[in-house]
A and B are shown apart, each in its own frame.
Chain A
Amino acid sequence: MWIIPAAPLVAAAITALLPGKKRKLSAGLAIGALVISLLVSCGMLHSALHAPGQHTFNFDWFNLGHGALRLGFLLDPLTAFMCVMVSFVSLLIFIFSLGYMKEDANFTRFFCFLSLFAAAMLGLVVANSLLLLFISWELVGLASYLLIGFWFHKPSAAAAAKKAFITTRIGDLGLLLGLLWLYDAGGSLLLYDHGAGVLEASVLASLSGQTLAGGLAVSTAIGLLIFCGAIGKSGQFPLHVWLPDAMEGPTPVSALIHAATMVAAGVFLIARVYPLMAADQLLAAVPVHALTVVAFIGAITALMGALIAVGQNDIKRILAFSTVSQLGYMMLALGVGSWTAAIFHLLTHAFFKALLFLGAGSVIHAAHHEQDIRALGGLAPRMKLTFATFAIGMMALAGVPFLFSGFWSKEAILHAAHAWDVSHLPLYAGLAAVMLTAFYMTRLVAETFFGTARSPAAGHAHESPAVMTVPLMLLAACAVLLGFTGTPACPWLQARLAGTELHSDLSHLFEGGGLMVLSIILVGAGLGAGWWLYGRRTRAQINDRDPLASAAPGVMTVLAHKFYFDELYAATVGRLNTAAAVFADALDRHVIGGAVNFLARFGLFSGAINREMDEDGLNAGFDRLNAGLRGTGVRYSKAQTGEPQGYLRVLAVAFVVLALVLIVGGVR
């Protein structure tokens, strides 16, 4: 099963060495490698479903004296489902990129980075060692940096790449510390290792048995540190700020990384280490359970992302914030204890969000890179296939009942939140976000596809080629069908993931009907409100005021500015960092340099001396010091006391002569 990540990795390596002109070969390699991964993944899924449980293959990476840092691969249903999803969605996106990136000068490099990304992501899901997972995790971050900044000639893209890398690395810092702690306290980084792995009962018991100051269990602390990594990667509040900016990358990248796979890594990570996260559940006397934090962060993110999406005008940014919001749902599901619902939603979301992003890509491609929904419009008749598939994706995301996958996976999450006995606040946040989601997606579709074209670019738009529309249709099919693998009547997917017996019973289909009806009403309300405001009378000019902004200008401004998180961070963390750096620099130039060289003068002029004067002063100081040293040397040598440096100089020469004599004399 090492083939799954290895195939794209090899493709990336070969592509990296190819000259830029071999466009067909590079794309062929990338796609071929991914086909291999997909086939192997399907085989793995087949065997994982027939022989449930954890199959591991571990090996030493390097020896540390007392033990070794070990890496390993793991096959269980979770891994197998993720592998199939990642390789399948990636494959479709690779194919879509053939059309989308056709005219790009750096086509070869693009496929090299894409392959690297797929390799890292697949490595992440097959890992049986948190260390291997962390390595892949970092490589995923690297690939995303390279891909977001792919059009580095746009300053905004370069800045977004850097922001994404640094922001997610802040989370990674927590993950790294969690790993260090886990290795120290648990003695291993393997997940499953015949009883000695960190997710197995004996280690978990010892981890949750130890408590820190404040009554926090060690497992809780480690779990929260690991969760920091997930917050960064999955764009959770408060580290979500990088995700919308990451839309500066080419649209297939947005689809691949910032919708379907990379951002799902955080959710996957928490699902993967779920036994560790849940190890403190049985302890009553702890101040906080790790999963409670996860649930609330998820709920905040779900609601906040949906709110901000209402105020955006860039087609990709709306989708980006909907991703933030949906990831919040998944975290919420994890937090309330239903990791299978989280993975169900992860899988359905991967398909319909990839569909939406690629649909957006198709629109952007046709409209000559116009992304502002106010400047689009009237595309439905001109791009029928794109419109139809996009509409399916939109309904799946909005949770339109019964037919679409998003409905079923979202229902699973809401029911789990309803059953949570700690608090119902996450449920209310989730329900509010359901309505908002339906609302902003209706707005997006109405503005983009209906009415009249409001810019020349939109007016000249025409349907994209088959290499782009076929992946859309395949994804659309999945966006519908996948939902039926996990309906309450026949929760096949959840049962397979958890390794339990499957109870299928049609009468369960409308179980918890009250909640379902409520959420259907909310979806309807969202759709209706969206239609009332944006669809009923479509925008005529680009500059027309947004109906919602006319109604509540203050609210809309706050939402459009994304609750001012960027401004807040720039004013606090960013400014603090700059100040610290400038302070350290000044300290180095003036205080330490000065103290060494001319303490007395520094005391008088510390604030005023500019750099040039500083240099003059330093040199003069050195000359004096030197002259002093020379004088001392002269005096000492006169007194014949053997000043040590001179003595050594003679010894050094003597040594060279001696060494030569030894060599010539053949003595060793």
Chain B
Amino acid sequence: MNLLPWTIYLSFAGAILALAAGTRSATAARVIALGTALAGWGVTLWAGCQFSPSDGLLTLTNTTWIESLGIRFHLAADGISLTLVVLTGLAAVAGILFSWNIEERTGEFFALYLTLIGGVYGVFLSADAFLFFVFYEIAIVPKYFLIAKWGSTNREYGAMKLALYSFAGSALVLAGLLWIYGAGNASGFSLTELAAGAATLDPNAQLMVFALLFTGFAVLAGMFPFHTWAPTGHVAAPTAASMLLAGVVMKLGAYGCLRVAMGLVPDAIFWFQPAIAWLAVIGIIYAGLVALVQDDFKFVIGYSSVSHMGFVLLGLAAATPLAVAGAVLQMFSHGVIAGLLFAVVGRMVYERTHTRQLAELRRLPLHRLMPFTAVVFVIAGLASMGMPGFSGFPAELSILIGTWPVSKLWTLAAALGVLIAAAFTLRVIQVVFFSRTEATADAAETHPLPPLTWPEQTGAALLLGATILIGLNPGLLLDWIIPGLNSPLLQAIWTGGAP
């Protein structure tokens, strides 16, 4: 376990190395990036093997940073953080595999990429709110450059929109944190100290603080109606960045909602519950409907991401242990599945056909030209629509089981979202891969596309393996997540009162 902070250090060190190596050889930068990501993922898996659920919240490192403000360099992990760092490691490796062909300023690309990953690891491991916030910002900045520099369609617009939304969100978060720190006379910025401080605020102030924190984070989690940055950002981003964006960055928001907003002000969630749950449910159905009529392949996946993140938010809003556990599992599941879908769309299809318009893809016999890609996308699509056997099923099932006792109506609406997900997923599968079918026998000879490379196949196999493994045995993660719900930081949500 004590190796976990090295995920952060390694990523930053790898970033600097990749930058340095990139000036001489692009291959060196790639290898360094892949090695760093693999090492980071290895550390998380190793930590997972060492972890026993009874450990509760494990402090990894805790030193003074800014003494006068009570800010400490305090890293800690529980089962929930562990789940998400494992996801981060996996997404990082897969993302590098799918950006193996970046030729333009390779070193800088991977430097920014690894900085982003380091920031994400930092967020998931921080037990000090200020440190959390710093890492959160570190994760946002490289995203802007990745999209603006290496992106495609409308990239500057997408990058700017995403950055402004993110910063607006973090401004709200910062205001909320400072409010607790100042008005609650907290002795420091650690999450427990802030929670104690928040408990001394009067109820109305608590509600205000919660609203600031939750809204701030929910922007990044893609909550309706603050979701519009997500599809545009995804579409503009290069493949690896959209994989990370959907795979882990949106999880930062959801994780912040749980760990910071709900963790610090546990009582307020029940006051806001109807509002958040309705927004989540609207997000699920609304984004699903929008995905149904898009004519850009990547926009479909972008909106499906918003729809699936609605399940996470619904699980959090229901605030029963089961629903929240399901929400965390859904974060993992969606991270893997969305990563896979974006990889197919961005790397496998777009970079070979140079179009994402469904109307143009419809005219290509893609199931013949790229059979492996078609199979991967069909399986990923099945996972995305919540088929049993894939990770989305136990995740969404847990959320629905956990939400049912709270409100039958929300559950019904969310289950309707599963139906819509099936509709839009089947639509793109059919339009993109199985539309043009006549005279396909020799299509492979007449319109050859570049064959799939080994990094792509490895990356796809990794992500598919993960979603099937968790789909068959969700206990692997739930046995980490559920004890994590009773860690000192979160148990106040269920038991009431201050932590």
Contacts and interface: CB of A to CB of B under 8 A. Distances in A.
Contact of B228 (A169, A588, A652, A663): A588
A631 to B, nearest CB: 15
Interface string A569-601: 000000001101111110110001100100000
A134 B427 CA distance: 24
B404 interface: yes
A158 B430 contact: yes
In this complex, the interface size class of chain A, counting residues with CB under 8 Å from chain B, is 35 or more
Interface residues of B, number: 70
A61 B475 contact: yes
A652 B427 CA distance: 44
Interface stretch (A287-295, A444-452, A643-651): A643-651
Contact of A659 (B8, B290, B418): B8
Given A158-B430, A652-B137, A65 B482 contact: yes
B412 interface: yes
B174 A644 contact: yes
B61 interface: yes
B164 A142 contact: no
A596 B5 contact: no
Given A153-B437, A173-B416, A582 B293 contact: yes
B454 interface: no
B63 A655 contact: no
Contacts of B63: 662, 667
A618 interface: yes
B482 A63 contact: yes
A4 to B, nearest CB: 18
B466 interface: no
Contacts of B287: 584
A21 to B, nearest CB: 14
A655 B12 CA distance: 11
Interface string B7-18: 011001100000
Interface in B428-482: 430, 434, 437-438, 440, 473-475, 478-479, 482
B157 A63 contact: no
Interface string B55-85: 0000001010100000001000000000000
Contacts of B157: 615, 618-619, 622
B289 A581 contact: yes
Given A139-B388, A152-B434, A622-B157, A166 B419 contact: yes
A626 B157 CA distance: 12
Contacts of A585: 289-290, 293-294
B117 to A, nearest CB: 14
B161 interface: yes
A64 B388 contact: no
A103 interface: no
A593 B167 contact: no
Interface in A147-187: 149, 152-153, 158, 162, 165-166, 169-170, 173, 176-177, 180-181, 183-184
B478 A64 contact: yes
A592 B430 contact: no
A177 B388 contact: no
A63 B9 contact: no
B134 A166 contact: no
Nearest to B62: A668
A605 interface: no
A25 interface: no
Given A61-B475, A652-B134, A180 B411 contact: yes
A73 to B, nearest CB: 16
Contact of A626 (B160, B174, B289, B482): B160
Nearest to B427: A162
A65 B388 contact: no
Contacts of A580: 289
A173 B475 CA distance: 25
A658 B131 CA distance: 12
Contacts of A69: 397
B426 A162 contact: yes
B161 A64 contact: no
A180 B401 contact: yes
Contact of B292 (A63, A64, A581): A581
Nearest to A588: B290
B224 to A, nearest CB: 9
Contacts of A577: 289, 292, 423
Interface string B84-116: 000000000000000000000000000000000
A391 to B, nearest CB: 38
Contact of B133 (A142, A578, A648): A648
B274 interface: no
Contacts of A61: 474-475
A135 interface: yes
A215 to B, nearest CB: 18
Given A173-B416, A658-B65, 5 more contacts: A63-B479, A166-B419, A169-B422, A584-B289, A622-B160
Interface of A: 60-66, 69, 134-135, 138-139, 142, 149, 152-153, 158, 162, 165-166, 169-170, 173, 176-177, 180-181, 183-184, 577-578, 580-585, 587-588, 592-593, 596, 615, 618-619, 622, 625-626, 629, 644-645, 648-649, 651-652, 655-656, 658-660, 662-663, 667-668
Interface of B: 2, 5, 8-9, 12-13, 61, 63, 65, 73, 133-134, 137-138, 141, 154, 157, 160-161, 164, 167, 171, 174, 225, 228, 286-287, 289-290, 292-294, 321-322, 325, 382, 387-389, 393-394, 397-398, 400-401, 404-405, 408, 411-412, 415-416, 418-419, 422-423, 426-427, 430, 434, 437-438, 440, 473-475, 478-479, 482, 485
User: 8 nearest interchain CB pairs?
Assistant: A153-B437, A62-B475, A135-B388, A584-B289, A581-B289, A581-B292, A180-B404, A65-B482
13 contacts: A63-B478, A64-B322, A65-B321, A152-B434, A158-B430, A166-B426, A173-B416, A581-B290, A588-B286, A592-B225, A648-B134, A648-B137, A649-B137
